Chain A
Amino acid sequence: MVGKPTFPLYRLPYVALKVAFGCSHPHDILRLSMVSKKSYTICKIFRKKVRNLNVRFDFLSDICSDCMATIFKVKSNSEVLPEDSKLESLKIKDTEFNVKMDRCIHILNFYCDDRVTCLTTLYEYLTDFYEVPFHQVELDGDSMTALDGVLAQQQTLAHCFLRCSKSGDEEVRWFLDRVENRVTRLLSLDVKTSKNFRLNLRLNKSIQNFSATTTVMQSIKTDMICFGRSFTLSIDNLSKLHSRGLFAEKTSLTCENLNSYLKNWQNGGNPNLGSLKLGLKSINVDTVLNGIEFNHRRHQNDVAYSATCWFPWNFNESYEIRRNDGTIASIVMQNGQNGEFKLCVWPDLRGTVYPESQ
Chain B
Amino acid sequence: MSVENAPVVDVDEAAIPVEKKMYYRFESNDKKEFRVSELAIQQSETLNRLVEAMGYTSEDVENKPAIAIENIDGKTLKLVFQWCEHHKGEAIPVDDGSVPKIVEIPEFDAKLMDIDNGLLFKLIWAADYLNIVQLLNVSCKKVANMAQGKTPAQLRRVYLLPSDEEDEAAKRAAQEAQDPRAREVEEEFEERKRQGGNSFF
A residues lining the B interface (CB < 8 Å) = 1-13, 15-16, 19-26, 28-29, 31-32, 34-39, 48-49, 88-90, 99-101, 105-106, 108
Contact = CB atoms under 8 A, between A and B. Distances in A.
Interface string B81-105: 0000000000000000001110100
**Which of B144, B156, B158 is the most central at the interface, judged by chain A CB atoms within 10 Å of its CB?**
B144
Contact of A32 (B120, B124, B155, B167): B155
Contacts of B119: 3
Nearest to A31: B152
**Which of B100, B116, B147 is the most central at the interface, judged by chain A CB atoms within 10 Å of its CB?**
B147
A105 B154 CA distance: 13
11 contacts: A3-B117, A5-B117, A10-B161, A36-B156, A36-B162, A36-B163, A38-B161, A38-B162, A99-B152, A100-B151, A106-B148
A21 B163 CA distance: 20
B116 A4 contact: yes
A9 B117 contact: no
Nearest to B167: A38
Interface stretch (B17-25, B33-41, B50-58, B134-142): B134-142
A6 B159 contact: yes
Nearest to B152: A34
B121 A6 contact: no
Interface in B129-185: 129, 136-137, 140-141, 143-144, 146-164, 167
B152 A32 contact: yes
Contact of A90 (B118, B147, B153, B161): B153
Nearest to B114: A1
Given A5-B117, A6-B117, A48-B100, A19 B137 contact: yes
Contacts of A5: 117, 158
Interface residues of B, number: 43
| Chain B contact residues, majority secondary structure | helix
Nearest to A14: B128
B68 interface: no
Given A7-B120, A48-B99, A108-B151, A23 B128 contact: no
B127 interface: yes
A7 B139 CA distance: 12
A31 B114 contact: no
Contact of B100 (A7, A9, A26, A36): A26
A51 to B, nearest CB: 11
B159 A16 contact: no
Contacts of B99: 22, 26, 48-49
B160 A9 contact: yes
Contacts of A15: 128, 136
Given A22-B100, A39-B161, 19 more contacts: A1-B114, A5-B158, A6-B159, A7-B117, A10-B159, A13-B129, A19-B101, A22-B99, A24-B147, A25-B100, A28-B148, A32-B152, A36-B162, A36-B167, A38-B167, A88-B152, A90-B153, A105-B148, A106-B148
Interface of B: 99-101, 103, 114-121, 124-125, 127-129, 136-137, 140-141, 143-144, 146-164, 167
Nearest to A100: B151
A15 B46 CA distance: 15
B187 to A, nearest CB: 26
A28 B161 contact: no
A36 B164 CA distance: 5
Contacts of B161: 9-10, 35-36, 38-39
Contacts of B116: 1-4
A101 to B, nearest CB: 5
A4 B117 contact: yes
Contacts of B129: 13
A106 B147 CA distance: 10
A35 B155 contact: yes
B167 A6 contact: no
Contacts of B149: 101, 105-106
A20 B101 CA distance: 9
Contacts of B100: 22-26, 48
Given A3-B117, A8-B121, A105-B148, A23 B153 contact: no
B114 A8 contact: no
Contacts of B114: 1
Nearest to B129: A13
